Structure formats: structure tokens, C-alpha cells
Amino acid sequence: MAAAMAASLRLRNLLMRRLTAPTHLGLNLSLRPLGSSAQEKSSRAAPSEAPDHSYESLRVTATQKHILHVQLNRPEKRNAMNKAFWREMVECFNKIAQDPDCRAVVISGSGKTFTAGIDLTDFASDLLQPQGEDAARISWHLRRLIAGYQETFSVIEKCPKPVIAAIHGGCIGAGVDLITACDIRYCAQDAFFQVKEVDIGLAADVGTLQRLPRVIGNQSLVNELAFTARKMMADEALGSGLVSRLFPDKEAMLDAAFALAAEISSKSPVAVQGTKIHLLYSRDHSVAEGLNYMASWNMSMLQTEDIVKSVQAAMEKKELKSVTFSKL
């Protein structure tokens, strides 16, 4: 261990000398787009079933190194979210969060649509005949149910691995709750989005009303969508900032989503996962609190060997995909 630490210190010192050397050595860290080939060479290999991920409502596959593809997998029901889905999403993303091989996730819907939202036929008894002997006990029961359903999407946000939502067709009701908990959203031209809950007599209660205003930054538009349940079409979603890119069809969208995931997964997992954690923390705290947390975080994380490896790759004009970062 002492020898390894000494070797690491010598390498750091060497890098520091090279970084502070005169510019005639030709070092230019700012102009080279590192990892570009990860995006250019993003063809999807034949997916293999991810180990330890066997579900009724989801299909999880390993499409490329360090990338998992989570599919809503009830195409015959337009990927409506049944009771199994709400339970399995928590199990799935808790496993992904602890998976040292996974560095990025793409989530999409199988079949012709992303999701039709909650499966009302599967939830009729919970909604119309809740358990409890009196109003107080019924209320406590419903509160536990709602908190559990909220965790189904909060677990995506809590997962330190970046999650990319790839949306085609309808993204209705709870589908909007799901995608607003993701880090990045792409959609196909046929996509549309509906905050549908008012049409079934309730206020959206598992994340849309809390996350959508922060995602698009337009309270007036959020209010309009939530009060009317009208459709937001793909072009409007792009213009409002709900999605960051728009593609002509599902295939092109998925190719781009996996290219992005490959680019992300080529970076240091210490850097990427720390970045996600701090982006979310800063969203919910003041600038001063965010800076204080960042200082406390990086006093440990700056000691990672990933910095040495990344800087060395840049100096040697190597792409980051050629660097082997330790699992995290």
C-alpha cells in the first residue's frame, strides 16, 4: 500500500511538472473534444439480459459496457403502470444504484408508446375502497400508499447514475412524473405529454407538480398543463425545455440516447456521480449551502486517481474511453 501511494505521488508530481511546463510542449486541454468517438461509435450491440434483474413489468438489458437499458415492458397495455411496476421500479433502481459496473441508464417504453400512465383497473380497489375502520385510519393507509408510489420515481433521482429518458408516443399521467425524475430527456417527433390527473378527479401526487416547474422554469405553462390536462406535443416540449433534443423517430432517438450514455460512461464515475449529486443538492439549497457542501465533498474526492488518469489521457491526446477507471 505504501509503495502504491508513493508511486501515485510520483505520478502526480510528474503531471504537475508537465502541466506547468512552457506552452511550446504543445499541451492544449481545452480544444480537443475528449471522448467524441464514444458518440460516433455508438452502434448498439445485441442486448443481453442484465443479471439479477427479472421483473414482470420491466425488461433490463445490458446494451453496451457500463450501460443498462430499462424498458417499460407491457406493450399490450400501452405500458400502463400496474402494481408490479410500482414495486419493481424501486427494486430495479436500488440495484442499479449499487451496481459498480453501471455508469449510465437509458429508460424507454416498449411497443408503440412510452406509457399510458397508471393502470386504473389494477388500482380500483385501492382508490375506491381504501382500507381502514374510520376516516383517520383510511387516511393513514392512503398516506402510506402515496408515499410508496412517490418513492417509485424518487428512486430514479436518488440513483447516482445518470438516467436518460427516451420518450416516444404518449407520455401520460404518471409518465410525466417518471420522466421529470430523470436527468436528461430526449423524445421522438411522435411524442406527446399530458399531466392527465385532473381528468380522473385528482391532483398529480407522485412528482409532476414538484419537479415539472423546476424542469421547464415556466410556472404559467406548468399551471396551464396541470389545470387542463391538454397535450403538449414534441415541438412544444423541446421549446419549453422539457426535452433537450428531438428526433424524427424512435430508432434515431434511441441511437442518440445510447450514444449519450456511452459518452457519459467514458468519464470518471467519481466525477459524473458526484456531479449528479451536487446538481440535485444545489437545486434544493442556496448557493452558499451548495458551495459549502461542494467544498466538503471535494476535500475527499479530489484525492481520486481518476484525476491523474484523466489529465494524463488529455496530455497524451488519448480518448477517455481508452482509460480504465475503477468500479464505483
How many residues in the chain?
328
225-237 pLDDT, tens per residue?
999 999 999 999 9
pLDDT at 267 > cutoff 50: yes
pLDDT at site 77: 95
Beta bridge partners of 61: 49, 69
pLDDT at 55 > cutoff 60: yes
Phi/psi of residue 270, nearest 5 degrees: -65, -45
| Percentage above 90 pLDDT, the chain | 71
CA 189 to chain centre: 21
Using CA atoms, how far residue 283 sits from 244, 277, 278, 290, 299, in Å, is 18, 10, 8, 9, 21
Sign of CA dihedral 205, 210, 212, 213: positive
Higher pLDDT, 308 or 187: 187
Residue type (1 letter), 7: A
Strands 245-247 and 192-194: unpaired
User: How wide is the angle at C-alpha 297 spanned by C-alphas 39 and 107, nearest 5°?
Assistant: 35
Q: Average pLDDT over the chain, rounded to whole? A: 87
Which range has the top average pLDDT, 12-26, 181-195, 289-303?
181-195
Band (pLDDT 50/70/90 cuts) for residue 23 is very low
66-76 pLDDT, tens per residue?
999 999 999 99
Question: Rounded to an integer, what distance in angstroms lies between the CA atom of residue 105 and that of residue 156?
Answer: 10
Q: What is the grid cell recorded at 9? A: 505521488
pLDDT at 44 > cutoff 70: no
- Is 231 in contact with 8 (CB distance < 8 Å)? no
Phi/psi of residue 106, nearest 5 degrees: -110, 130
pLDDT at site 28: 34
186-219 pLDDT, tens per residue?
999 999 999 999 999 999 999 999 999 999 999 9
Question: Rounded to an integer, what distance in angstroms lies between the CA atom of residue 62 and that of residue 102?
Answer: 9
Mean pLDDT of the region 27-41: 37
Band (pLDDT 50/70/90 cuts) for residue 43 is very low
- Is 308 in contact with 11 (CB distance < 8 Å)? yes
Question: Rounded to an integer, what distance in angstroms lies between the CA atom of residue 228 and that of residue 198?
Answer: 7
Mean pLDDT of the region 236-258: 98
pLDDT at site 320: 82
Mean pLDDT of the region 163-182: 98
Burial call 180-218: b when 16+ CB within 10 Å, e when fewer: bbbbbbbbbbbbbbbbbbeeeeeebebbbbebbbebbee
Band (pLDDT 50/70/90 cuts) for residue 45 is low
Mean pLDDT of the region 27-45: 40
Mean pLDDT of the region 21-49: 46
- Is 290 in contact with 277 (CB distance < 8 Å)? no
113-165 pLDDT, tens per residue?
999 999 988 877 777 777 888 999 999 999 999 999 999 999 999 999 999 99
- Work out the number of other CB atoms within 10 angstroms of the CB of residue 50: 21
